[in-house]
Structure 1
Amino acid sequence: MANLKEVRNRIASVNSTQQITKAMKMVAAAKLRRAQDNILQMRPYAQKLGEMLQTVSAGAEAAQENPFKQERPIEKVLMVVITSDRGLCGAFNANVSKAATAVINEKYAAQKRAGNVHILSIGKKGGEFFTRRGYKVNALYEDTFTRLSFGVVRQAADEIMNAFLNNQYDIVEIVYNEFKNVATQIVRVEQFLPIVESTTQDTATPGDYIFEPSEEEIIKELIPKSLKIQLYRAVLESNASEHGARMTAMDKATDNAGELLKNLRIEYNRSRQAAITTEILEIVAGAEALAGN
């Protein structure tokens, strides 16, 4: 049985840890409210922009000839992995990294063997994961979430789009956590480039619209903007998911620390009672020895 000093030190240590996890939970909850508001405002805009693009480009020759829609034999692959810059958020980062690895092993095994699978990581943890496993991490966007804005994400989108146009990659896929609620995040894998026509949306015919200035100009401007919005939405989803996952993880850690404190206090009381009992026995034994003399 541990001595009283050791148990007291452990109680103090666990109590300090519990205070930290409780504070981190409160901070995550405050950040989550802002992140949740941002993604709830962005979703309708991104959805309508996507629907508009599908409607305008349906059957339009200018859309079909757009370079962002051109499919090529898949030889070089870029995986855009969106994780966090910090840990202490449960399986948030591990789920995304494992999902990206599974996609690479299942769909792009030949490209991986040829060394043609590259990683672009938005978030430090994803870059660290794939670097340790020998993947080529072409770009690592750290501190994106500390100064999160459309302008910051647009830089990454421009880099990805230019690389695709320059034939550096034949396909680009995004892996991220979609925010559902505080306790639930859904890992999504979406093809970013080349653009794939949606088969679920009802699209009107181009004859239903009058284009100004021209159909070609509208599509030329709309497609790059839609791609940037798509990436920005994925980053916002991941940001909200991260805070939700961290809030849940810190809540569980706080509860676990409370349970551990309960057990340590029981152990401390038992050790203290045993020490008192031992002292009493020693006093009694000494008194009896003196009485016998």
Structure 2
Amino acid sequence: MASAEVSIENVGGRDLRIARWRLDEPSDHPPILFFNGIGANIEAVAPMAEAFSDRSFIMFDMPGIGGSPAPLVPYNVVTMAWTATQVLDLYGLDQVDVMGISWGGGMAQHFAIQHPGRTRKLVLIATSAGMLMVPGSPKALTKMANPRRYIDPEFMTKNFETLYGEGLGSGPGKGAHMSRLTPPSPRGYMYQLIAMLGWTSAPALPFMKKETLILMGDDDAIVPLANGKFLRSLIPNSELVVMEGGGHLFLLSHKDESVAAIRAHLDVIDDAEQSKAA
């Protein structure tokens, strides 16, 4: 996080902890707006932000998560997608490439649907279409819903591979990932859980024209690969890339492969962009 600017700002009536990488540096690429997984603070995905050293990167802790104060009232995907546009406005960012992992993948989909003019391309990581999803293993989902994974190191250590797969659980990145986690507030965690209740992107996705990369792991016990195949069938301009042996956190365990796939997707200039450049 040494290379990030981090501050708490009042945005759309909410105090949010926002991290920015390289906003003031020149780049040939649009910035990346990143939506994190449930209960996860900015630091959890900081290595990914730092990997994209040639472009700006921005993300924020959801209310009650990480360093953002707990919300007074519940929120939903509509209000948070609008709040994200206010974050972009705060830093003078117009159009962005939108990325999201797990719960944040749902936010990324909704942002692209609700604010197509602010979205150039979309990257969906270990995520689903929401309510219409193929559920993961009951054992993993039970532990995923338990906030003890953030508060109790022994619980996290014991259940890490069940939650996130052997790719990261048995590798050197396990300890580093655990050290970056900050426990969410109980209210913040609960409100984040209920924000997606009843939500699905499925009816809208066939009408979404954004070029979309879907990244999935074939060893994901929380969001099985079938969900990525379902997204691929719904989104017209989409590509599915599968990380072999990847659990739910393949973004970290398969970091180099993930970054390469994302770069290949984001760096392709489509016909509309070529026309605009001409």
Q: What TM-score results when the alignment is normalised by the length of structure 1?
A: 0.23
- Determine which structure has more spread, i.e. the larger CA radius of gyration: 1
Higher fraction of strand: 2
Higher fraction of helix: 1
Q: What TM-score results when the alignment is normalised by the length of structure 2?
A: 0.24
